[in-house]
Amino acid sequence: MELYFAPMACSIATRIALYEMGKGDDASFHRVTLASKTLEDGSDYYAINPKGQVPALRLDNGEILTENAAVLQYVADLAPEAGLAPAYGTMERYRLQELLNFIGSELHQKVLAQIFNPFAPAEAKAFARDEVAPVKFAVLAEAVKGKAFLIGNRFTVADAYAFFVLSLCPFFGIDLGRWPSLQTYYEGLAARPAVARAAAEEMALMKPN
């Protein structure tokens, strides 16, 4: 299994999932430079993933799987005993899919990706930060009120994806302090050894040599 990632991009959720499951050593990690769509050897990343985005996961049979919601569930299902995704066919599994889609489409793409996009006009960024974010993040804040995890009392891949989104907020002008439940939830996730390890490793890759 090979994970194509960019440091501190949403692909960190898959790294976190692998570490949580104790399967970090079963994967190799290939760094992608998203600006140039190249790998470290200079080769064309579009040849791996025509979408030019991370994450992409090369499975042991050579197939490439993309899209966070699919990649995270695939990885979680490699070790069901780790509990990173509720069992297929259960209502909780649909809740997981509901959350992965909400985090991906509403928080990641409609808010963070807009603020991050260097080509987005200032008005679009301000709208995402000041109008959309408060409404969408309030939903997540409500979902974790008095809880350490989004689903039941176990860490799932939805928490891994939420960690990515929340970790960017302070850099994108979104103050988590306005939602105490989100702040507490985020701090709890950040303190998990697997999450802290993934974040430390990827932060180190962002430092200029």
Q: Which residues bind ligand GSH (CB under 6 A)?
A: 9-10, 34, 52-54, 67-68, 104, 113
Tokens coding 66: 């993309």
Query: How many helices (H) does the chain have, and how many strands (E)?
Result: 9, 5
24 or 104, CB closer to ligand GSH? 104
Tokens coding 79: 């070790």
Smallest gap from Cβ 81 to ligand GSH, in A, equals 26
Residue nearest to ligand GSH (CB): 53
**DSSP 8-state class, residue 120:** S
90 or 117, CB closer to ligand GSH? 117
191 or 206, CB closer to ligand GSH? 206
Query: Residue holding tokens 């103050």?
Result: 175
Question: Which of 68, 155, 171 lies closest to 111, judged by CA?
Answer: 171
Smallest gap from Cβ 34 to ligand GSH, in A, equals 4
Tokens coding 18: 């692998």
Contacts of 89 (CB under 8 A, 6+ apart): none
Smallest gap from Cβ 2 to ligand GSH, in A, equals 16
Smallest gap from Cβ 14 to ligand GSH, in A, equals 10
67 or 77, CB closer to ligand GSH? 67
